[in-house]
């Protein structure tokens, strides 16, 4: 009787474990992949992680492919709160181009731009500059208050669609706080590739 009781317990235990295994392997009814479904939580967690880094500097290389121009240059982006200073040198900067300002005002080569600053910046660089979104994008974040679609993996942004741009994060640093080291940005027939050599 004892042996029969023990065998019954083992059988019930096996059936229970099998049922649990099947439940855990059931496909989700949610049509979204987990990365898209959790993108809001992932974004908030990364935003909290990066919030102390309101002042930073990023230096590296930038490549451009477009019907009008192909080439590369060096980029030096400095951000202090809302204020930024971007210097592009080499073929893309046609020597050296410095753009500075914030979301309210812009200057190019120390000359204040009042009329259509976005178009003036694009003309000076030879490629469009989404200056309000870029400080977020280069740190591996979606810009706030703008619709976006994002794909995350292990707490890091992998793909982003925002403001008409498709952004792909190809490599992150291995620092305590991982930061993007290679980013591909595409809008229409314009493609930018940013390779970060140094964060500070």
Extended beta strands in 39-147, E state: 55-65, 70-80, 83-90, 95-101, 106-108, 111-113
User: Backbone phi, then psi, for 67, in 5-degree steps?
Assistant: -60, -25
Coil, strand or helix: which one is 99? strand
Predicted confidence (pLDDT) at residue 15 exceeds the cutoff of 60: no
Tally of CA atoms within 13 A in the half-sphere of 22 that contains its CB: 6
Phi-psi region of 115 (alpha: psi -120 to 50; beta: other; left: phi over 0): beta
Predicted structure pTM score: 0.77
**Total Cβ atoms within 10 A of residue 21:** 9
* List of residues 6+ apart from 129 with CB closer than 8 A: 86, 99, 118, 121, 122
pLDDT at 113: 81
Cα–Cα distance for residue pair 184/190, rounded to 1 Å:
11
Kindly indicate the confidence band of residue 94, based on its pLDDT and cuts at 50, 70 and 90.
Answer: low
Cα–Cα distance for residue pair 61/89, rounded to 1 Å:
9
pLDDT at 93: 55
* Average pLDDT of the chain, as a whole number: 80
At the top level of CATH, the class of 53-199 is mainly beta
Task: Tell me if 131 sits within 8 A of 121, measured CB to CB.
Answer: yes
Cα–Cα distance for residue pair 179/99, rounded to 1 Å:
23
- Residues 34-49: tens digit of each pLDDT: 444 447 899 999 999 9
The secondary structure of residue 42, as a DSSP letter, is H
Coil, strand or helix: which one is 97? strand
Kindly indicate the confidence band of residue 11, based on its pLDDT and cuts at 50, 70 and 90.
Answer: very low
Q: What is the mean pLDDT of residues 12-39?
A: 37
The secondary structure of residue 127, as a DSSP letter, is S
The secondary structure of residue 142, as a DSSP letter, is P
Tally of CA atoms within 13 A in the half-sphere of 17 that contains its CB: 6
Residues in the chain: 200
- Residues 107-159: tens digit of each pLDDT: 998 888 877 878 888 888 888 888 889 999 999 999 988 899 999 999 999 99
Query: From the centroid of its chain, how far is CA 55?
Result: 18
The secondary structure of residue 119, as a DSSP letter, is H
């Amino acid at each position: 009787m004892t042996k029969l009781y023990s065998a019954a317990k083992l059988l019930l235990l096996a059936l229970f474990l099998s049922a649990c295994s099947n439940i855990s392997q059931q496909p989700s009814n949610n049509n979204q992949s987990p990365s898209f479904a959790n993108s809001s939580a992932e974004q908030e967690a990364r935003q909290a992680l990066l919030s102390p880094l309101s002042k930073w500097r990023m230096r590296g290389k930038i490549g451009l492919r477009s019907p009008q121009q192909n080439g590369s240059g060096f980029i030096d982006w400095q951000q202090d709160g809302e204020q930024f200073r971007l210097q592009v040198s080499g073929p893309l900067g046609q020597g050296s181009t410095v753009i500075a300002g914030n979301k309210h005002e812009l200057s190019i080569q120390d000359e204040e731009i009042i009329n259509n600053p976005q178009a003036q910046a694009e003309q000076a660089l030879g490629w469009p500059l989404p200056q309000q979104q870029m400080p977020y994008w280069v740190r591996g974040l979606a810009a706030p208050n703008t619709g976006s679609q994002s794909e995350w993996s292990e707490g890091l942004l992998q793909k982003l669609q925002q403001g008409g741009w498709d952004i792909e994060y190809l490599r992150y640093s291995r620092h305590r706080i991982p930061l993007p080291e290679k980013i591909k940005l595409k809008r229409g027939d314009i493609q930018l590739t940013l390779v970060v050599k140094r964060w500070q």
